[in-house]
Structure 1
Amino acid sequence: MSKQGILSIDQGTTSSRAIVFALNGQQVSNMQQEFTQHYPANGWVEHDPEEIWKTTLESSKTALEQASKKGVSVACIGITNQRETTLVWNKQTGKAIYPAIVWQDRRTAQYCESIKKQEEFVRAKTGLLLDPYFSATKVKWILDEVEGARHLASQGKLAFGTVDSFLIWRLTDGKSHVTDASNASRTNLFNIHTQQWDAELLELFDIPANMLPEVLDCADDFGITSKRVLGQSLPISGVAGDQQAALVGQSCFKAGDLKSTYGTGCFALLNTGEEAVMSSHKLLTTVGYRLNGVTSYALEGAIFTAGANIQWLRDGIHVLDHAKQSQVLAESLDYDHGVFLVPGFAGLGAPHWNPNARASLFGMTRGTGPAHFARAALEAVCYQTHELLNAMENDGISSSAVWVDGGMVANDWLCQFLADILQIEVQRPKIMESTALGAAYLAGLQEGLYKDLDDIASHKAVDRTFSPELGEPTRARLLKKWHLAVEATLAFAE
């Protein structure tokens, strides 16, 4: 008798991957394909929608084939995706009318500045700030700049979606134009209190309502895959933006539970339960997940580049041959090495929210080399996480531990330094693919493969706990220098 499994499609910023999980959370098969990053102008970041689709489809087919060979029968599909990244496509052809504008893209910074007086109005409805990061200004840009787009939109011929919507449209052969509440909550068009697309926000950004997908719960019926497309008909039963999926994958189901994911960027989400806590320190209020019509909210802090810092060292300035080298290099230096990197490659996120900030290096000497770059890049992520947790504490919610995941946390040195700087325990789970796992859990929940959230939480297992070891004088000195480096970076951005 074949065992049951769930296909999780994890469409990320730098790669598309597909993982088949057994119901206990163990990986059965895994396929990943990287795709091209396009930087057509300063601060612009784009992806080719066809490359997103091709890498997703090929990865999914391979993972399904591998699972089948191991006697695992896939019951359903969960999808998780890079959030905010924006696509507009023609409903008749299914083709995008412009490349995908990536969440890191800053092209609408000037427009955001021009309507800054509307920020409190937008924030009260969406929990978000007015920033190029979110989808609304990206959609507006496409409609304004692509010839004929506004005319097609007025005729109801265009569809907008984040990556999940685009993939579901393609997988179902154009039958489903849907998204989930977590992705919708990242657009600046969705009222997180009424859980509806907001007419006043659509008017502000000049976006026709007929372009928008239907918003469903995170565990719901999103459509059935077309046999012509995927080779088999499977229900798509769970969807969540990547950071919310990680919250589910880490079983952070109680108010006060905190997870921090270290992928291309870093995102810390703190579950606040059924209360949408509005931050006084520029954190975002967002939908954590919505199940059976009940919304659990989260406070979120975003760091725009984390793993991308290491990618830059490897691909941009070639001081690393591969990412894993960063741990060995970091370990070779002492705490007083003196170099600080403020990684404003795509502006600075929470709690600064400065789209004009650019990366800066401080403290270099003639003796500065690859080890200093690697260590400073890793340390920066920890200092920035400290800023996020500090903001959460100032908003009145603190945590005694943080659950970490994402590619970077395979690095033991990073996890230990993180515990030292945060002064709380850092818990690393046995299954590090929390994002993909969360999407699988949501799909399994919808299909009755899991009874409830307690059933899902029963599978959680710790790989290692990192406890603070660094002396307070050293920690305080490092943080003081970090804050000086950030101040100088922000001053330069002005």
Structure 2
Amino acid sequence: MSKQGILSIDQGTTSSRAIVFGPDGHQFASAQQEFAQHYPANGWVEHDPEEIWSTTLDSCKEAIENAESKGVTISCIGITNQRETTLVWNKETGKAIYPAIVWQDRRTAQYCESIAQHQTEVRAKTGLLLDPYFSASKIKWILDEVEGARNLANKGKLAFGTVDSFLIWRLTEGQRHVTDATNACRTNLFNIHTQQWDDDLLNLFDIPKSVLPEVLDCAADFGTSSAKVLGTNIPISGVAGDQQAALIGQSCFEPGDLKSTYGTGCFALLNTGESPVMSTHQLLTTVGYRLSGKTTYALEGAIFTAGANIQWLRDGINVLQHAKQSQVLAESLDYDHGVFLVPGFAGLGAPHWNPNARASLFGMTRGTGPAHFARAALEAVCYQTHELLTAMKNDGMPSTKVRVDGGMVANDWLCQFLADILQIDVHRPKIMESTALGAAYLAGLQNGIYNTLDDIAAHKQIDRVFKPELGLQTRQRLLNKWELAVKATLAFAN
């Protein structure tokens, strides 16, 4: 008897993955491919669109083949993606006219500063800050800097998309130019109150409306994959940006539910229900998910580098041979090891929002070695999470627990230190790939595999709860030193 499967495409910042889930969250098959990061100038980060596509397509084909060999039939496709990363392609050829400008890219910082007088308007409509992190200034840069792009755009011949849109265009052979509300709301062009592209914002950034995709609910008809592409026609029925997909995957369906994902970056999202909460502490107000035309909002804190810190130690300066080594090295040191890393490799996100900040390392001696680098890199993520949760608390949204996921939380030491620094319980799920799982849940919801969000929540299983153990005096001493390191980093940047 054939078993039912959902193909989840998880297109991330450093790799493309495809996982085939059963309705209960069981993984039948998975495949993953890393791809290159390009840094053509200081603060610039780019991806090759064709490499995004080829790694995604190859991963999908491998996962589908493996699942089918086990008697699994793919019912539908869910897509989740690195958000804000910007692609512009020719509608006739389907080819991108410039490399994908990655969410971490800071090339438009000066432009964003030049229109800073519009910050209040942008914030009120989008819930976001006026920052190079978001897509609008990246789109404008491509249209202005690529020869002939502005003219083609004005003639309606170019399409903009976040990665989900680009993949759907390719999967459907150009039949659908669509996105979902969670990706649209990360562009600085989408009004989160009207749930529409905003003409005033389009005028501000000088972007023609013709380049934009149609915005759908997170569970909707996004088209059907072409048999020429995947070998069979499969409905694409769920889409969400990676952090919102993790919110779904962690079943954060009630106001006050909080999840924090530790992938390339770290992103904490707190469900605020039907009403958007406008932060007074530099957090973002965003769409958590939109289902059946009803929007659920979230508060978000963004840390630009988390797992990327460990990747830098491995690939950038060759301090680590592999990422898992970081836990063993961290465990070898005491709390008073004295080294602090402020990972401003791509600027600092919430609550500082300084695009000019760069990474700083404090407290080194001649005795400083790989263990200090590894531990400082892991600790930094926990200190920054503390900053985010403190901002949420100051916005009137305190938390009693946090649900964590992402590749980094396989590290027990990290989860325990996180609980110690946050002074709340840290819940780790049995299925740590919450992002991919959330996309699968959305696709299954549209496809009738699940009827309600309660059906989805019924599958949630906790692997382990980490409780605070660290003495409060030691904790406060560490946080005080961290605060000094951040102040010094910001002073240098300014």
Alignment TM-score > 0.5, same fold: yes
Question: In structure 2, what residue type is equivalent to 1:308?
Answer: A
- Write the deviation string for residues 100-119 of structure 1: whole angstroms up to 9, x where unpaired: 00000000000001011100
Aligned twin of 1:185: 185
Q: Segments of 4+ in structure 1 off by > 2 A? A: none
Tell me the percent identity: 82
Aligned twin of 1:306: 306
Instruction: Work out the CA distance in 1 between the residues paired with 2:105 and 2:492.
Output: 20
- Write the deviation string for residues 10-45 of structure 1: whole angstroms up to 9, x where unpaired: 000000000000000010000000001000000000
Secondary structure of 2:267's partner?
strand
Aligned twin of 2:397: 397
Aligned twin of 2:466: 466
Instruction: Work out the CA distance in 2 between the residues paired with 1:155 and 1:316.
Output: 43
Aligned twin of 1:434: 434
Instruction: Work out the CA distance in 1 between the residues paired with 2:211 and 2:433.
Output: 33
Question: In structure 1, what residue type is equivalent to 2:267?
Answer: F
Aligned twin of 2:449: 449
Q: Say whether residues 1:142 and 2:110 are aligned partners.
A: no
Aligned twin of 1:358: 358
Deviation at 1:177, TM superposition (A): 0.2
Aligned twin of 1:290: 290
The aligned runs of 1:130-209 (5 Å cut-off) are 130-209=130-209
Aligned twin of 2:322: 322
Instruction: Work out the CA distance in 1 between the residues paired with 2:68 and 2:361.
Output: 50
Instruction: Work out the CA distance in 2 between the residues paired with 1:230 and 1:40.
Output: 33
Aligned twin of 1:79: 79
Question: In structure 2, what residue type is equivalent to 1:125?
Answer: K
Deviation at 1:359, TM superposition (A): 0.3
Secondary structure of 2:89's partner?
strand
Aligned twin of 1:42: 42
Question: In structure 1, what residue type is equivalent to 2:27?
Answer: Q
Question: In structure 2, what residue type is equivalent to 1:415?
Answer: C
Q: Say whether residues 1:97 and 2:97 are aligned partners.
A: yes
- Write the deviation string for residues 239-268 of structure 1: whole angstroms up to 9, x where unpaired: 000000000000000000000000000000
Instruction: Work out the CA distance in 2 between the residues paired with 1:99 and 1:353.
Output: 25
Question: In structure 1, what residue type is equivalent to 2:174?
Answer: G
Deviation at 1:451, TM superposition (A): 1.3
Instruction: Work out the CA distance in 1 between the residues paired with 2:65 and 2:44.
Output: 37
Secondary structure of 1:267's partner?
strand
Q: TM-score, normalised by structure 2?
A: 1.00
Deviation at 1:399, TM superposition (A): 1.2
- Write the deviation string for residues 388-408 of structure 1: whole angstroms up to 9, x where unpaired: 000000000011100000000
Deviation at 1:188, TM superposition (A): 0.3
Secondary structure of 2:477's partner?
helix
Q: Say whether residues 1:225 and 2:239 are aligned partners.
A: no
Question: In structure 2, what residue type is equivalent to 1:234?
Answer: I
Deviation at 1:179, TM superposition (A): 0.1
Question: In structure 1, what residue type is equivalent to 2:428?
Answer: R
Aligned twin of 1:127: 127
Q: Say whether residues 1:14 and 2:14 are aligned partners.
A: yes
Instruction: Work out the CA distance in 2 between the residues paired with 1:230 and 1:461.
Output: 32
Instruction: Work out the CA distance in 1 between the residues paired with 2:412 and 2:129.
Output: 34
Question: In structure 2, what residue type is equivalent to 1:290?
Answer: R
- Write the deviation string for residues 271-322 of structure 1: whole angstroms up to 9, x where unpaired: 0000100000010000000000000000000000000000000011111100
Instruction: Work out the CA distance in 2 between the residues paired with 1:104 and 1:45.
Output: 6
Instruction: Work out the CA distance in 2 between the residues paired with 1:319 and 1:87.
Output: 34
Deviation at 1:230, TM superposition (A): 1.1
- Write the deviation string for residues 119-147 of structure 1: whole angstroms up to 9, x where unpaired: 01000000000100000000000000000
Instruction: Work out the CA distance in 2 between the residues paired with 1:326 and 1:166.
Output: 35
Instruction: Work out the CA distance in 2 between the residues paired with 1:285 and 1:408.
Output: 25
Instruction: Work out the CA distance in 2 between the residues paired with 1:491 and 1:73.
Output: 57
Q: Say whether residues 1:215 and 2:215 are aligned partners.
A: yes
Q: Please, which runs of 5 or more residues in structure 2 have no aligned partner?
A: none
* Aligned pairs, number: 494
- Write the deviation string for residues 406-430 of structure 1: whole angstroms up to 9, x where unpaired: 0000000000000000000000000
Instruction: Work out the CA distance in 2 between the residues paired with 1:5 and 1:452.
Output: 18
Aligned twin of 2:53: 53
Aligned twin of 2:117: 117
Secondary structure of 2:36's partner?
coil
Secondary structure of 2:286's partner?
strand
Aligned twin of 1:334: 334
Instruction: Work out the CA distance in 2 between the residues paired with 1:301 and 1:117.
Output: 23
Aligned twin of 1:387: 387
The aligned runs of 1:405-444 (5 Å cut-off) are 405-444=405-444
Instruction: Work out the CA distance in 2 between the residues paired with 1:155 and 1:357.
Output: 39
Secondary structure of 2:374's partner?
helix
Deviation at 1:229, TM superposition (A): 1.1
Q: TM-score, normalised by structure 1?
A: 1.00
Instruction: Work out the CA distance in 1 between the residues paired with 2:154 and 2:333.
Output: 60
- Write the deviation string for residues 199-225 of structure 1: whole angstroms up to 9, x where unpaired: 000000000000000000000000011
Secondary structure of 1:379's partner?
helix
Question: In structure 2, what residue type is equivalent to 1:72?
Answer: V
Instruction: Work out the CA distance in 2 between the residues paired with 1:49 and 1:425.
Output: 40
RMSD: 0.3
Deviation at 1:59, TM superposition (A): 0.4
Secondary structure of 1:308's partner?
helix
Secondary structure of 1:165's partner?
helix
Aligned twin of 2:480: 480
Secondary structure of 2:80's partner?
strand
Instruction: Work out the CA distance in 1 between the residues paired with 2:229 and 2:71.
Output: 23
Question: In structure 1, what residue type is equivalent to 2:458?
Answer: S
Deviation at 1:234, TM superposition (A): 0.4
Question: In structure 2, what residue type is equivalent to 1:409?
Answer: V
Instruction: Work out the CA distance in 2 between the residues paired with 1:398 and 1:447.
Output: 36
Secondary structure of 1:224's partner?
coil
The aligned runs of 1:244-263 (5 Å cut-off) are 244-263=244-263
Secondary structure of 2:255's partner?
coil
Secondary structure of 2:357's partner?
coil
Deviation at 1:325, TM superposition (A): 0.5
Instruction: Work out the CA distance in 2 between the residues paired with 1:371 and 1:76.
Output: 45
- Write the deviation string for residues 363-385 of structure 1: whole angstroms up to 9, x where unpaired: 11111100000000000000000
Q: Say whether residues 1:241 and 2:245 are aligned partners.
A: no
Secondary structure of 1:75's partner?
strand
